[in-house]
Structure 1
Amino acid sequence: MFRAASKMASNCSLEASKRIISISHGYGKSEIESVTSALQRGGVVAVPTDTIYGVAALAQNREAVQKLYDIKGRNSEKPVAICVSELEEIEKWGRVSSVTKNILKDLLPGPMTVVLRRTTSLNPDLNPTTSVVGIRIPDNDFIRDLARACGQPLALTSANISSHRSTISIEEFKEIWPKIDLIADGGVLRDRTRQGSTVVDLSNDGAFKIIREGCAYEKTLDILRRKYNLRESK
């Protein structure tokens, strides 16, 4: 029985390894096309970001978003952020005032998630219980090129089972490999704090609220308080 179990585990690991694409030493058109194809088929992929590893699906695909929640073992009422490639894309998915637009230029790309009031263009099945959405533009060329190739936002959350610690290498989320369609291996990521992005709510003009301190907390506070003189809500 032990031999059979070991063989089964070995086979699962071998099968999962066939779905790993190495991008730790660079990537090209073929790698982007492979991951894009998996997403467009409704799959969920694991990708490196500028903080920790994430799992992503097409945000506008209802079934793919549900699969993302299932992999995470996460309550669908807990919001998932979206990732876009360019600042200009944010206004399609979140409501942006003239002041907020300037703030976004100072915060993004970077390890921040900006929470804005969502627009009607966003998939209503994504975070259906809230009127806001978190938006990311990671300072990571691969995931931005991926979002650009897909032509729509990626639903993005951390590559781990919900409530488990964040991951900085693909080996750290092996338990969910069998459920993931493709894994982009970017090696061991630099953010050893595992804090993830700083999440800041900018949905109310003239004020901000830090939802999660994350790895860019001090930088975010400095920009919002010193440069824009925004009031912090508690």
Structure 2
Amino acid sequence: MVSIKRIVSMTKILKLTNRTLPDTVDESCVKLAAELLLKGQVIAVPTDTIYGIAGLAQNSEAVNRIYQIKGRDPGKPIAICLNAIEDIHTYAQVTVSDSLLSCLLPGQVTLVFNRTQTLNKNFNPDTNLIGVRIPDNNFIRSVCGACSSPLALTSANYSASQSCLDVDEFSYLHNRLAGVFDGGRLGNTEESRLGSTVVDLSEEGTYKIIRPGSAFHSVTQAMQTFNIQERTE
């Protein structure tokens, strides 16, 4: 059964059942998360790194709400989260092989490409680049699949504040969210708060690390394996 606790704001905190089993998904929570997102709401979700807040990337009002909740500079872009590697080609101009994508994803990596026209033109309107995530977390990927749409995904904290490994750490945001999906504590070290490694692959044959993050060594090793050269500018 799903445990639901209500706080003053009536925000729902939902504990994911079987959360210690990586290959299982709490279908009732997936369904509820998708219903909230499809209504244009913003929710908090676990990922394979830190907790994030998410809304439909194709819904401009939901995206604006994310920026308001975080107090984030409107000029700072947000990544999208997808369910599967084949979905990336719909929203991004992929410059690398699917073999390299499969080497990195699902995983603690954000890949940056040029966007396609399919992506909401009001989403990150000041840049042609888009960061793409496929987290190694079955819950959030299942939610993406249930929505049949990319999620706008960013860390669950006020802008420039410490990233969060437990839902209690961002309790100050709970009353501004339609639901908080509790996947338990995601890590126990400060290194766990690094978030994903962000790598720019927008120029074919080259890469540039934008943020070292939690998967730096595996990303750079994959670049060497697939003969992708580092950009130094």
TM-score (norm 1): 0.90
Pick closer, same or farther for the CA change 1:130–1:18 going to 2, 3 Å: closer
Pick closer, same or farther for the CA change 1:24–1:217 going to 2, 3 Å: farther
Query: Are 2:59 and 1:61 equivalent residues in the alignment?
Result: yes
1:16 to partner: Cα distance: 4.3
Pick closer, same or farther for the CA change 1:18–1:65 going to 2, 3 Å: closer
For 1:88, what is the secondary structure of its paired residue? helix
| Matches of 2:182 and 2:91, distance apart in 1 | 29
* Equivalent position amino acid for 1:210 in 2: I
Aligned pairs for 1:124-135 (under 5 A) are 124-135=121-132
Asked if structure 1 preserves the Cα contact closer than 8 Å seen for 2:200 and 2:210, the reply is yes
Question: Unpaired runs of 5+ in structure 1?
Answer: 1-12
Give 2:12's match in structure 1, choosing from 2, 13, 19: 19
Query: Are 2:148 and 1:151 equivalent residues in the alignment?
Result: yes
Q: Percent identity?
A: 43
| Matches of 1:16 and 1:158, distance apart in 2 | 21
Aligned pairs for 1:178-189 (under 5 A) are 178-189=175-186
* Equivalent position amino acid for 2:196 in 1: S
1:47 to partner: Cα distance: 0.2
* Equivalent position amino acid for 2:220 in 1: L
Give 1:92's match in structure 2, choosing from 78, 90, 93: 90
1:101 to partner: Cα distance: 2.7
Asked if structure 1 preserves the Cα contact closer than 8 Å seen for 2:197 and 2:211, the reply is yes
| Matches of 1:102 and 1:96, distance apart in 2 | 12
TM-score (norm 2): 0.91
Question: Unpaired runs of 5+ in structure 2?
Answer: 1-5, 20-24
For 1:229, what is the secondary structure of its paired residue? coil
Q: Flag the structure with higher helix content.
A: 1
Structural RMSD (CA): 1.4
Give 1:121's match in structure 2, choosing from 118, 122, 126: 118
| Matches of 2:47 and 2:10, distance apart in 1 | 20
Q: Deviations over 1:80-132 (max 9, x none)?
A: 000000000000000124x3432211111000000011000000111000001
Q: How many residues align?
A: 220
Query: Are 2:202 and 1:209 equivalent residues in the alignment?
Result: no
* Equivalent position amino acid for 1:130 in 2: T
For 1:76, what is the secondary structure of its paired residue? coil
| Matches of 1:165 and 1:24, distance apart in 2 | 27
| Matches of 2:186 and 2:10, distance apart in 1 | 19
Pick closer, same or farther for the CA change 1:82–1:220 going to 2, 3 Å: same
Q: Which residue of 1 aligns with 2:3?
A: none
Pick closer, same or farther for the CA change 1:190–1:120 going to 2, 3 Å: same
